[in-house]
Amino acid sequence: MDSIDLNKIRLETRGCSDLIHFNNAGASLMPVPVADYLYGFLQEEELKGGYETAAARNEELENFYTAGAQLLNAKPSEIAFVENATRAWDMVFYALPLERGDKILTTVSEYGSNLIAYLHRAKQTGAKLLVIPNDKYGQIDVEALEATVDENTKLISISHIPTGGGLVNPAKEVGEIAKKYKIPYLLDACQSAGQMPLDVQSIGCDFLSATGRKYLRGPRGTGLLYVKEDWIKRLEPPLLDQFAAELITGENYEIRADAKRFENWERYFAGQAALGRAIDYALKIGLEPIQERVFGLAAYLRTKLEETDVINLTDEGVQKCGLVTFQHRKLSAQQLKSRLFDQNVNVSISSGSGMKLSYEARNLDPLLRASVHYYNTTDEVEKFVSIIKSL
Ligand SMILES: Cc1ncc(COP(=O)(O)O)c(C=O)c1O
- Identify the pLDDT of residue 2: 57
CB 355 near ligand 1, within 6 Å: no
Residues 6+ apart with CB under 8 A from 50: 269
How far is the C-alpha of 317 from the C-alpha of 335, rounded, in Å? Answer: 27
CB 84 near ligand 1, within 6 Å: yes
Cβ(145)–Cβ(176) under 8 Å?
A: no
Cβ(159)–Cβ(111) under 8 Å?
A: yes
- Identify the pLDDT of residue 143: 98
CB 159 near ligand 1, within 6 Å: yes
What is the CA(348)–ligand 1 centre distance, in A?
A: 14
Q: Whose CA is nearest to atom 16 of ligand 1?
A: 163
- Identify the pLDDT of residue 3: 79
Decide: pTM greater than 0.95.
yes
Cα dihedral across residues 349, 19, 86, 239: positive or negative: positive
What is the CA(246)–ligand 1 centre distance, in A?
A: 31
- Identify the pLDDT of residue 352: 82
Tell me, which fold does domain 6-29+287-390 have in CATH? Aspartate Aminotransferase, domain 1 (3.90.1150)
Tell me, which fold does domain 35-284 have in CATH? Aspartate Aminotransferase; domain 2 (3.40.640)
Three-class secondary structure assignment of 262-281 = HCCCCCCHHHHHHHHHHHHH
Cβ(273)–Cβ(60) under 8 Å?
A: yes
- Name the DSSP letter for residue 320: B
The partner residues of 236 in beta bridges, in order of sequence, read none
Q: What is the largest CA-CA distance in the chain?
A: 71
- Identify the pLDDT of residue 154: 98
Instruction: Give residue limits of the domains in the chain.
Output: 6-29+287-390, 35-284
Residues 6+ apart with CB under 8 A from 379: none
Q: What is the pLDDT along the chain (391 residues), one digit of tens a residue?
A: 457 999 999 999 999 998 999 999 999 999 999 999 999 999 999 999 999 999 999 999 999 999 999 999 999 999 999 999 999 999 999 999 999 999 999 999 999 999 999 999 999 999 999 999 999 999 999 999 999 999 999 999 999 999 999 999 999 999 999 999 999 999 999 999 999 999 999 999 999 999 999 999 999 999 999 999 999 999 999 999 999 999 999 999 999 999 999 999 999 999 999 999 999 999 999 999 999 999 999 999 999 999 999 999 999 999 999 999 999 999 999 999 999 999 999 999 998 889 999 999 999 989 999 999 999 999 999 999 999 999 9
> Length of the chain in residues, anyone?
391
Nearest CA-CA partner of 185 in 209, 155, 160: 155
- Identify the pLDDT of residue 353: 85
CB 209 near ligand 1, within 6 Å: no
Q: Which atom of ligand 1 is nearest to the CA of 84?
A: 10
How far is the C-alpha of 234 from the C-alpha of 285, rounded, in Å? Answer: 36
Residues 6+ apart with CB under 8 A from 171: 158, 160, 187, 189, 192, 203, 205
